[in-house]
Each structure stands twice: as structure tokens, then as C-alpha cells.
Amino acid sequence: MADKRPRLPEWFRTRLPSGELQQKFNETKLTVEENMLNTVCQEAKCPNIHECWAAKDATFMVAGQECTRGCRFCAVGTIKRPPPLDLQEPTKLAEAISKMGLRHAVITVVNRDDLPDSGASHYKECLIRVRESCPDVTLELLCSDLAGDHVALAYLLENLELEVFAHNVECVPRLDKIVRDSRASFKQSIDLLMEAKRIRPDILTKSSIMVGLGETDDEITEALIMLREANVDLVTIGQYLAPSSKHLPIDRFPNPTQFDDWAAQIEKLGFLGWACGPLVRSSYRAGDLLIRASARLRTDGE
């Protein structure tokens, strides 16, 4: 059966690295492969993989290659009973990040609904090991919703050295049942972000929205308002791209100028940092986003 996905607009053209950038991309790829690590860059088929890996920036995915959820937009595989956690993963992850010389590391996770704490203790161990090996690297955790378990969240964040706690709402509330797994919801995600900020007000919180799933511009504005009311500090908006013909079809391709309009709205709402654009993903230039947000905090405090 032929793939009937729509042709991408011209603004989706990306340039492959060459020369020194190609060499850096190859070095990053080799480090990932040698340490048998999973990256969301690969699993989610990110369009920015060459740009980010050439810049020695990568987002690592822990707790397995497959997820216990079955969201209809996601390229990551689904499994009901995942294999046991790799107890050596925290050490391998820390060693790889140290070798790569990263400035900012994003650690994302698959949902582990099969585990009593939804994987919180494993996620925490990974971050602790990375911090021990790379004390100068700023850390960002792109977390699951932990099945709405705020006790597990509190354990995860207690005494954890972390700069950014991220969790993606993914879509506007009306589309939850169409886009996300039945165990996920906008409300559950918002509640998790609010609780994370309550527990650790010193940590920046972050979320992301995809467009092209059937939402309206007004619904995007409403979602942004709800995120800001939940004290979310950083937000990204990017175009949904169907990983295959079996996933949700793309509803629309907003023009780049529309992303500029959303960026203006985000700034007006008072977010500390944002990235909006067709190719933007939740971890896109995450280190730069953190630096800009930190600078705004310092300016506001003066």
C-alpha cells in the first residue's frame, strides 16, 4: 500500500552537515552506538538530528526502547510487558555524556506503567550518575506523567540537582482522546507540571505542543494560557509530522509566520523562554533556551 502522507512544504528542507560538522555528527553517532544508548533523536525520527548531533547535542532516552503507552502520534514502539530495566544504564549514560563533552544534556524517558513507581527511581538514578560524572553539565529531564503519581514525583525531585523539569502536554485538551493514549490527559499533565513547580520552585518547568493535529489557532492560545497559569516557564511549539501512514494524518501546515505570532503571544504571556517553528521539537536547542531563560531571570531580579 502506497504511503499517502502529504508532501512537505518548502520550509521543511534541511541541510545535511558537511566537513567538520559531518565529522562531529559521526563522532556523536559512534559514541551513542558504542555505549548502546537509545536516543529520542533516532526513535522519534527527529528532523533536526543532523543539526543537533553535529553540534554535539543529543537527547537520550532511558528505561527502554519501547513504551507502555500507545499514543497515535509517536514513532516510539509500544509494548505491554517491557523487559527489565538495564541496571547498568545510568553508568553507561554518564560515561557517554562525559565523552561527548556536552554543555546541556536532555534525558527523556519512555512510559513504564508496568513499574510501581512508573520508573521514577530509575530516572533519578540516571540523573544522579550523570551529575556525578559531569558536574558542569546542566540537566533537563523530559519526564513521563508518572501515571499521575505525585508521590513518585516527589521522590524523583527530592534533592535532585536538575535545571529543567519538562513534561509535554502534546496537544490541546479537546484532542486528548484522539491523539494520546487513554491513560494520558491534558489535565493530568498540567497537574504534574504544577506539582513539580510546587515541590521544587527552584527548577524551571517546560512543556511542548504539536500543531497540525486538528486544533484551531484559538485552542493553541487557550492551551498556552493554561500552561502559563500552571507556572510553566518554558514552552515549545512545532509541527506534527506523521511517522508513517499508520499514524494520525497531518491536518495542516501552519505557515512560519503563524509560528512567529505564537511566539509573540508566548512572550506577552510572560514565559521565560520559548522556541516556535515548523521544525522545532521539545528538546530543540534546549541548552540555548535554558541560557536565555536564566538571563531573563537575572534581569528580572535586578
Q: What is the pLDDT of residues 142-200, one digit of tens each?
A: 999 999 999 999 999 999 999 999 999 999 999 999 999 999 999 999 999 999 999 99
Taken in order of first residue, the domains within the chain and their CATH numbers are: 16-301 (3.20.20.70)
Whether 1 has a pLDDT exceeding 50, the answer reads: no
Model confidence band, residue 268 (pLDDT cutoffs 50, 70, 90)? very high
User: What is the number of alpha carbons within 13 Å of residue 247 lying toward its C-beta?
Assistant: 24
pLDDT value of residue 284:
84
Whether 297 has a pLDDT exceeding 80, the answer reads: yes
Asked if 134 and 91 touch (Cβ cutoff 8 Å), the reply is: no
How many other C-beta atoms are found inside a 10 Å radius of the C-beta of residue 176? 19
The whole-angstrom separation of Cα 226 and Cα 70 is 25
pLDDT value of residue 222:
98
Name which of 253, 288, 245 is nearest 4 in CA terms.
245
pTM for the full predicted model: 0.88
pLDDT value of residue 107:
95
pLDDT value of residue 219:
98
Whether 6 has a pLDDT exceeding 50, the answer reads: yes
Tens of pLDDT along 195-248? 999 999 999 999 999 999 999 999 999 999 999 999 999 999 999 998 888 899
Name which of 155, 167, 136, 267 is nearest 200 in CA terms.
155
Percent of the chain scoring above 70 in pLDDT: 81
Whether 54 has a pLDDT exceeding 80, the answer reads: no
